[in-house]
Chain A
Amino acid sequence: MKRLTKGNDAIAMAAIEAGCRYYYGYPITPQNDIPEYLAREFPKIGGVFLQAESEVAAINMVLGSAASGKRAMISSSGPGISLMQECLSYMSGSEIPCVVVNIERSGPGLGGISPSQGDYFQATRGGGHGDYRTPVLAPYSVQEMYDFTFLAFDISDEYRNPVLILADGMLGQMKEPLDTRKPPMRELPPKTWALTGCEGRNPRLLKSLYLGVRELDKHCWDLHAKYERVKQRETRWQEVGTEDADLVVVAFGTAARIARTSVADARKMGLKVGLFRPVTLWPYPEQRLEELAKKTKAFLVVELNTGQMIEDVKISVGKQKPIEFYGRPPGAEALPMPIEILDQIREVYP
Chain B
Amino acid sequence: MSQEKHREMRLINPRPRTLIDRPSHFCPGCHHGIIHRLTAEAIDYFNVREKAIGVASVGCSVFLYDFMATDVLEAPHGRASAAATGMKRVQPEKIIYTYQGDGDLAAIGTSEIIHTANRGEPITVVFVNNTNYGMTGGQMAPTTLLGQKTTTTPYGRDFKRDGYPIRMTELLATLEGVAFCARGAVNTPANVKKTRALIRRAFEVQIKDIGFGFVEVLSACPTDWGLKPIDAVKRVEEELIPYYPLGIYKDKKEADHF
Contact = CB atoms under 8 A, between A and B. Distances in A.
Contacts of A66: 86
A199 B69 CA distance: 11
Nearest 5 CB-CB pairings of A with B: A64-B86, A60-B82, A61-B86, A199-B50, A207-B74
Given A50-B89, A57-B112, A196-B91, A206 B74 contact: yes
B62 interface: yes
A195 B76 contact: no
Interface string B24-39: 0000000000000000
B89 A203 contact: no
12 contacts: A24-B86, A60-B83, A61-B83, A62-B86, A64-B55, A64-B84, A65-B90, A68-B90, A94-B74, A198-B71, A203-B69, A205-B65
A257 to B, nearest CB: 35
Nearest to B66: A205
A209 B74 contact: yes
Interface in B47-78: 49-53, 55-56, 62, 65, 68-76
A52 B118 CA distance: 12
B142 to A, nearest CB: 18
Contacts of B82: 52, 56-58, 60-61, 63-64
Given A198-B71, A199-B51, A60 B94 contact: no
Contacts of A207: 56, 65, 72-74
Nearest to A128: B76
Interface of A: 22, 24, 48, 50, 52-54, 56-58, 60-70, 72, 86-87, 90, 94, 195-200, 203-209
B53 A195 contact: yes
B71 A87 contact: no
Given A61-B82, A61-B83, A64-B84, A48 B71 contact: no
A64 B94 contact: no
Given A199-B51, A206-B73, A57 B111 contact: yes
Contact of B76 (A65, A87, A196, A200): A87
Contacts of B85: 50, 57, 60-61, 64
Given A56-B111, A60-B79, A65 B89 contact: yes
A104 B72 CA distance: 35
Interface residues of B, number: 35
Given A50-B85, A60-B83, A63-B86, A196 B74 contact: no
A57 B62 CA distance: 19
Contacts of B50: 197-200
B71 A196 contact: yes
A25 to B, nearest CB: 12
Contact of B86 (A65, A196, A198, A204): A65
Given A62-B86, A197-B52, A208 B74 contact: yes
Contacts of A61: 82-83, 85-86, 89
Given A198-B49, A198-B50, A67 B73 contact: yes
Contacts of B76: 60, 63, 86-87, 90
B87 interface: yes
A22 B92 CA distance: 13
B235 interface: no
Contacts of B95: 197
Given A54-B111, A198-B69, 16 more contacts: A53-B111, A58-B82, A60-B76, A61-B89, A63-B79, A63-B86, A64-B86, A66-B86, A69-B90, A196-B71, A197-B51, A197-B70, A197-B94, A198-B50, A203-B70, A209-B62
Interface string B191-231: 00000000000000000000000000000000000000000
B250 interface: no
B26 to A, nearest CB: 15
B144 to A, nearest CB: 24
Contacts of A86: 76
Contacts of A60: 75-76, 79, 82-83, 85-86, 112
Contact of A53 (B68, B71, B89, B115): B115
Contacts of A70: 90
A87 B83 CA distance: 10
Given A56-B79, A56-B111, A57-B115, A198 B89 contact: no
A209 B50 CA distance: 24
Contacts of A50: 85, 89
A63 B83 contact: yes
Contacts of A24: 86
Contacts of A208: 74
A203 B50 CA distance: 8
Nearest to B89: A48
A69 B50 CA distance: 17
A52 to B, nearest CB: 7
Contacts of A54: 111
Given A87-B76, A198-B49, A68 B91 contact: yes
A84 to B, nearest CB: 11
B257 to A, nearest CB: 19
Interface string B112-140: 10110000000000000000000000000
Q: Which of A54, A94, A197, A200 has the most CB atoms of chain B within a 10 A radius of its CB?
A: A197
Interface string B93-114: 0110000000000000001101
B87 A195 contact: yes
